[in-house]
Structures are given as structure tokens and as C-alpha cells.
Amino acid sequence: MVSDRVIAIIGGTGDQGFGLALRWVKARENVIIGSRVRERAEAAVKRLKTILGDQYNVEGLENREAASKANIVVLTVPFNGLFDILKSVGGALRQECILIDVTVPLASTIGGKPTQTIIPWHGSVSKMIAEILPNVKVVSAFKEISAEALQDIQSPIESDTIVCSDDDDAKRVVIKLAEKIPNIRGIDGGGLENSRISEYLTAFLIGVNIRYGVKKAGIRITQLEYNDKV
Ligand SMILES: NC(=O)c1ccc[n+]([C@@H]2O[C@H](COP(=O)([O-])OP(=O)(O)OC[C@H]3O[C@@H](n4cnc5c(N)ncnc54)[C@H](OP(=O)(O)O)[C@@H]3O)[C@@H](O)[C@H]2O)c1
């Protein structure tokens, strides 16, 4: 069944955003791929249709326009570009929309190591965004899921994702959205202050990938009667 909600992926031309777009378009969600340059967004749509086929509902727009049309906006830009993006799309966001923050503040974005983070004063990037944009429902998710795994659409993903928010309804929506991607479980990670765990964990998983020579290391939380409380 085709969903009636619209998901805009800001920075959806990049590895992580394009991977999420592939998975959600395949699951029949309505997706807009956003870019700073409309032509790049349109090129990503063309690439996506080459992979999945022409029959899907996906369009490419400049980031701000994409954000203005969506009920769910997903942030997938590098940490060092985040502030410009928040300035450019912040005012276009619909009141009360859900903003899924996938940003990991890797030290490598400012010349440091990809296995370390630069955690802001607020404790996490997601918490910081919630203070900058108080009128949207910020949810932290998909930070531990690798782009390689997302783009390998023939394979289920061997990972959970920790979903944190101070808005329980928004968190529930995102947990369900995670389940649209085969084998991912969205784990209720509590309030947004716990997003710091995901951000550290992602840098740690990058180190695991390097040490073991793999690209898709993930996490599983065991012993859960899964989602009986969601
Ligand atoms: N890659 C992963 O495996 C992975 C996993 C988990 C989380 N994440 C997080 O997801 C986010 C995106 O990661 P990625 O690997 O997809 O990054 P990326 O490919 O380097 O960049 C994503 C997109 O962001 C836009 N962008 C690049 N630099 C920018 C800047 N300075 N200002 C504004 N927009 C800029 C570009 O789109 P346009 O040029 O089209 O505007 C680019 O295609 C990061 O915060 C990362 O930490 C990534």
C-alpha cells in the first residue's frame, strides 16, 4: 500500500540519505530527495529509478523546498555542514513536523579521526537541534546503520537502531518507519538525551569496521519481547 505521508531527505544525494531513500521508496513511502542543488537531487532520483524501476513515487528538489513539503524530514548531512543546513531549511519546516536526525558528529569532519566524536555542549547533536528548532519533534535514529548496508538492497540489515525522542508519538512513528527496512528493529531508546549513546556508538562501530575489515558492523539489543510496548 502506498503511504500518504511525505518524507524529505535533506542531503539525500549522499551515501546515508540515498540508502534510506532506496529502502523507503522500495517500501512504498513517498520520498523527496533534497540537495543544495536541484539538479543533483534530480540526478539522484534518476539513479534511484535505475536501481529500483520507474514505478515508484520519488522526486528531487532543493533542500528547502523539499523540507516545506514533508511531514517527516530526515537530516543526512555531514556535521560540518549542519549549521548552514539548519539555517536554510529551519524556517521552511512545517510546525510539528517530525525531524529525524541521523547526524553523527564525527571528528573526521573537522580533520580528526572517524572513530571519535565531537559532542556538543547539549550532549548530542540531536539534543542541540531540538534546542535550535523548538517547534519540531526531533527524533534521533538510524545513526548506527551503515550506508553500505542500506544501499545493499538485496540484503536484510543485521542491526537494530536506537530511536530516541522527547515526543513519544513521534518516536513511535519512527520505530514503525525503521521496521519498513527489512530486519532493522527500532529500539525505544528513551528521551533525546540518550542520543549521545548512538553518536558514540557509531564512532565505535566505525572502529570495529576498520579492525575487522568489514563495512556493515551493526548492533543488536538482546532479550527483548520486541515492540510489545510500542
Ligand atoms: N555514511 C554512513 O555510513 C553513515 C552512517 C550513519 C550516520 N551517518 C551520518 O549521516 C550524515 C550523512 O552522511 P553521508 O556519509 O551520507 O555524508 P556525505 O555523503 O558526505 O554527504 C551527504 C550529503 O550532504 C550534502 N553536503 C555535503 N557537504 C555539505 C555541507 N558542507 N553543507 C551542506 N550539505 C552538505 C551533500 O548533498 P548536496 O551536495 O547534494 O547538497 C551530500 O551528498 C552524516 O552526519 C553522517 O555522520 C552516515
Q: Which amino acid is at 122?
A: H
Give per-residue pLDDT as tens, 140-157.
Answer: 999 999 999 999 999 999
**Spacing of C-alpha 60 from chain mean position:** 17
Give per-residue pLDDT as tens, 77-122.
Answer: 999 999 999 999 999 999 989 999 999 999 999 999 999 999 999 9
| Domain count for the chain | 1
Distance 10 CA to ligand 1 centre (A): 9
Q: Is residue 64 in some structural domain?
A: yes
Q: Is residue 175 in some structural domain?
A: yes
Q: Is residue 202 in some structural domain?
A: yes
Q: Is residue 224 in some structural domain?
A: no
Q: Is residue 223 in some structural domain?
A: no
Per-residue cell: 123: 550532549
The whole domain housing 90 covers 6-212
**Phi, psi dihedrals of residue 107, rounded to the nearest 5°:** -60, -25
Q: Is residue 1 in some structural domain?
A: no
Q: Could you identify the residue written with the cell 527489512?
A: 182
Per-residue cell: 131: 534546542
pLDDT in tens, the chain (230 residues): 567 899 999 999 999 999 999 999 999 999 999 999 999 999 999 999 999 999 998 999 999 999 999 999 999 999 999 999 999 999 999 998 999 999 999 999 999 999 999 999 999 999 999 999 999 999 999 999 999 999 999 999 999 999 999 999 999 999 999 999 999 999 999 999 999 999 999 999 999 999 999 999 999 999 997 655 56
**Phi, psi dihedrals of residue 68, rounded to the nearest 5°:** -70, -20
Task: Write the burial class of residue 27 (CB in 10 Å: 0-12 exposed, 13-18 middle, 19+ buried).
Answer: middle
18 CA closest ligand 1 atom index:
16
Cα dihedral: 168, 180, 187, 103 (round 10): -80
Q: Is residue 228 in some structural domain?
A: no
Give the CATH number for residue 47.
3.40.50.720
Per-residue cell: 136: 519540531
Distance 74 CA to ligand 1 centre (A): 12
Q: Is residue 145 in some structural domain?
A: yes
**Spacing of C-alpha 155 from chain mean position:** 19
